[in-house]
Amino acid sequence: GWPDVAAIKPAGGILYMAELKTETGHVTPAQQAWLTALEQCTGVHTEVLRPAGLEAFVARLRKETS
């Protein structure tokens, strides 16, 4: 259930956690439980990342880390 991707921005104190799925893949209850618990932590951003959203995700990371 633990997310597939963890990326950190130490200077900003932000941790990004992403569950990778295909366009039609489903999040399991265990995966959703982890995402929900992590999202409640200060400085943690979570999402389900699909191929169609990858470019936007990378753009957000670049914007927030520049």
Low-confidence ranges of the chain (pLDDT < 50): 66
Which are the contacts of 53, defined by CB distance < 8 A and separation ≥ 6?
47
CB atoms within 10 A of CB 46: 20
pLDDT at 64: 56
